[in-house]
Structure 1
Amino acid sequence: MEQDEDSHQQLSTVSLPRSGRPSKTDEKKKIKLVGEAIKRPIVTLQGLQVFLASTSQSSKTDKEEEVEDKVDNNLLVPSVSSDQGFVYVDEKYQIGEQLANGGLGTIFEGIRKSDKQRVALKVVEKNGETMILPDEPDPIPLEVGLMKLVSRHPACPQVIQLLDWCETDTHVVLVLERPELCQNLHTFIKQRGRIGEPLARHFCYQLVRALQHCESREVFHRDVKPSNILVLLTTNEIKLIDFGCGDLHEETAYEEFCGTKAYAPPECLKNHGYYSSPTTVWTLGLTLAFIVSGHLPFEPGKNECIFIPSHVSQELQDLLCWCLCYEPEDRPGLEEILLHPWMNEK
């Protein structure tokens, strides 16, 4: 988690409303990916092949070792035709420098050789989570499936697009669009300090649209936060990224937490079941609070009172308190957020 994301400003204190909890169903969705994200080793600039070789040292037969010697340890991915065996990922992409290394993967810059298009290659270790799509003959990695769902036509300009993907026995490689001149929203805010409410409103509107698109595709992102939002510096347009903690939307409650703990809603931290829509709105509210203050609005370890900077307008305070209601059933839906007076100020 990024530094300062759990900081707060003790300027104005607002108690969160409390009321009855939503009714729970007997059947609950249980998630295997739980707890804090595991840090992967940092990848050297010698290439993707070194990374994969260093993280998949398993016992191999003499025949497998002979094949590896012939292909010089390049990244192998299944070809479309099983008769063709394996093909090199670097036949299709020129792999550049490492862009980022986080708990859920390592990202490289790349160029698609066929048309020189800029791409990002995200390498993640397989975790056993898969899903089935009608256009796929076999189960595919969960993150790939979620990204295929949100990338299908008509796509959403506020959600990063999956262009291609491949896999090895131990890793998945997602080929993503790579916008020019961009930085994550956390860095954007930290470098600029306080930003005005018109720009905050512009970011919030786009984020709501991105999350509505995810909901329409039955995708629960589950890790909405400033560092998972890219800002295009020339236009101030945004793109929601990193579906590594995501899952399919369920009407039943999720029991185990997956995401960034500082952004988890109260019902999750109290070991109660949590639901996708109220959780999404909670994380959106925290993201909006960070945008206008540069800090999360809670004291560390507490989330029953929020701290709102004195410069924030009354209308925005009202929206923040609504999104951050202690009880999940009291939070608005995404459509209600778009109808809030602060969202419609000129």
Structure 2
Amino acid sequence: MYGTDRGGGSVDTLLQNYKLGKTLGHGSFGKVKVAEHVLTGYKVAIKILSRRKLKNPEMEEKVRREIKICRLFVHPHIIRLYEVIETPLDIYVVMEYVKSGELFDYIVEKGRLNDNEARKIFQQIISGVEYCHRNMVVHRDLKPENILLDSRGNVKVADFGLSNIMRDGHFLRTSCGSPNYAAPEVVSGKLYAGPEIDVWSCGVILYALLCGTLPFDDENIPNLFKKIKSGIYTLPSHLSPEARDLIPRMLVVDPMKRITIAELRQHHWFKSQLPRYLAVPAPDATDQLKKLDEDIITKVVNMGFARSDLTRSLQSRVQDDATVAYYLLFDNQTRVVGGYLGAGISESLEGNLAAMNIDNVPDRDHLLRSNLPGERKWQVGMKITASPRDIMTQILEVLRSLNVCWKKIGPYNIKCIWAHLLYENDGINSANIRSQNVVKFEIQLYKTPDDRYLFDVQRVKGPQLVFLDFCAALILQLETSILYTRSNCL
């Protein structure tokens, strides 16, 4: 019922892949320990659930639901479940280890956060919640205690014990979750579809992030429910105008008038400084399974597993030693920081760092001005029949021809710098540098929901007109490269 049962061996035999460490905490059904995965050396958190304490049907349902739902999700801001090991006395749930603890403790420690820090956390929460809703799951217990922070301060939505599957045309009625974060329709015992109550809870979380307090609070539960149902709260004067506009749109008593996540995504406060990997919906787990990382597969094969068995298990989502090793390596070596296609920063930024020497950058001004057609219009896009890896290879070749320096921060994400030198002739046989414009920009390849690839170039620093000049040259060179490749294939 819970996962793969490995038989009736001893606990030591069943947990031979892990070295159990200290206890991280205690819960209703057991305790959580940190452990080291022997094959990869990475840490995991293991929930040890006592079967004796799960005799209560409600408790058993909570655990069963959480395991089922966590198995479904593959998202950078949702806690990962690696495997479930059953013994006659206990159930061991091996999950992602999140080092920095609960968002609740972080808020208590720091007090209210500034807009930029709160926004980064909130954007990641919304990304995870939106992913849940796309997979027809409503969390129903969103609160800072159930949002974990990793060592880099990134969000991991956790504790899906009160979540439920949404079905078209069906409504939910169960009143659950923490009272302070519960929507009016929940505390009133009314029917609800699902996403709208998570939006309300996210609104309360956003208020807590920016204010350091809760919008609805009272030691007396009936009084607390009255405040929630009336929607009466105060907005501190220190809030920015954009935040003062967004929070009331989320904390609307009438769920039909409450802002949706799709609408929230368009709000100016939310969109500001939005990382590009969060600007589009994350791919479904089934789509991600089609894109297996060859480098990580090779590492797992080198541990003694058969390649064919590993790929078959990954594609069919079978839980075994090889797939656990694969996902631990994947999660710890490709951390998402700004990429669309799972592009992430590696623990060590390896290779592809061009040596930087601005003084030796040749004169490209003549190249740009002489090769650009006078009446040329902006090109929205071009068709390239190639894999993402081949597209990036072609892009890097063009960047090299334009003397762009770059460093790789993910398989499909690079940071670049380009020096644009302007010369004036001194009337003899040489040229003197009149001025130098340096443009820094980032390049990202990402996948759209209709399985197309978009190539995005975003200026980070430098003159806008010089950047546009470079973009024109880049497009021209890419077109030339593509035409050359096609002609060679004919």
Same fold (TM over 0.5): yes
Cα separation, partners in 2 of 1:232 and 1:336, compared to 1, 3 Å: same
Matching residue's letter, 1:199: E
Where in structure 2 are the equivalents of 1:1-346 lying within 5 Å?
Answer: 79-80=5-6, 85-88=8-11, 89-103=14-28, 106-124=31-49, 125-126=53-54, 128=57, 141-150=64-73, 155-168=74-87, 171-180=90-99, 182-233=100-151, 235-251=152-168, 252-300=170-218, 301=224, 302-303=227-228, 304-346=231-273
SS across alignment from 1:236? coil
After superposition, what is the alpha-carbon deviation per residue over 1:38-66, rounded to whole angstroms, capped at 9, x for unaligned?
A: xxxxxxxxxxxxxxxxxxxxxxxxxxxxx
Contact kept? 2:23, 2:31, Cα under 8 Å: yes
After superposition, what is the alpha-carbon deviation per residue over 1:312-339, rounded to whole angstroms, capped at 9, x for unaligned?
A: 1121111111111001111122121111
Cα separation, partners in 2 of 1:205 and 1:268, compared to 1, 3 Å: same
Compare relative contact order (CA 8 Å, sep 6+) and give the higher one, 1 or 2.
1
Residue 270 of structure 1: CA displacement?
1.3
C-alpha separation in 2, matches of 1:167 and 1:311: 52
Contact kept? 1:128, 1:141, Cα under 8 Å: no
The structure with the larger Rg is: 2
C-alpha separation in 2, matches of 1:170 and 1:331: 46
TM-score normalised by structure 2 residue count: 0.48
Residue 93 of structure 1: CA displacement?
1.8
SS across alignment from 1:331? coil
Contact kept? 1:78, 1:87, Cα under 8 Å: no
Residue 161 of structure 1: CA displacement?
0.5
Contact kept? 2:82, 2:94, Cα under 8 Å: yes
Cα separation, partners in 2 of 1:79 and 1:172, compared to 1, 3 Å: closer
C-alpha separation in 1, matches of 2:31 and 2:175: 22
Cα separation, partners in 2 of 1:255 and 1:290, compared to 1, 3 Å: same
After superposition, what is the alpha-carbon deviation per residue over 1:135-174, rounded to whole angstroms, capped at 9, x for unaligned?
A: xxxxx92211100111xxxx21111100111234564321
C-alpha separation in 2, matches of 1:223 and 1:105: 20
Matching residue's letter, 2:69: L
RMSD: 2.3
Tell me which residue corresponds to 1:19. Answer: none
Aligned residues: percent identity? 28
SS across alignment from 1:110? strand
**Gap runs ≥5 in structure 1:** 1-76, 132-139
Residue 289 of structure 1: CA displacement?
0.7
Contact kept? 2:180, 2:216, Cα under 8 Å: no
Cα separation, partners in 2 of 1:287 and 1:221, compared to 1, 3 Å: same
Larger % of helix: which? 2
Contact kept? 2:113, 2:212, Cα under 8 Å: no
Residue 205 of structure 1: CA displacement?
0.7
After superposition, what is the alpha-carbon deviation per residue over 1:48-101, rounded to whole angstroms, capped at 9, x for unaligned?
A: xxxxxxxxxxxxxxxxxxxxxxxxxxxxx9744xxx533424323222221122
Cα separation, partners in 2 of 1:328 and 1:172, compared to 1, 3 Å: farther
SS across alignment from 2:46? strand
Cα separation, partners in 2 of 1:318 and 1:90, compared to 1, 3 Å: same
**Gap runs ≥5 in structure 2:** 219-223, 274-490
Stretches (4+) displaced over 6 A? none
Cα separation, partners in 2 of 1:173 and 1:222, compared to 1, 3 Å: farther
After superposition, what is the alpha-carbon deviation per residue over 1:222-245, rounded to whole angstroms, capped at 9, x for unaligned?
A: 111111111234x33111111122
Cα separation, partners in 2 of 1:256 and 1:79, compared to 1, 3 Å: closer
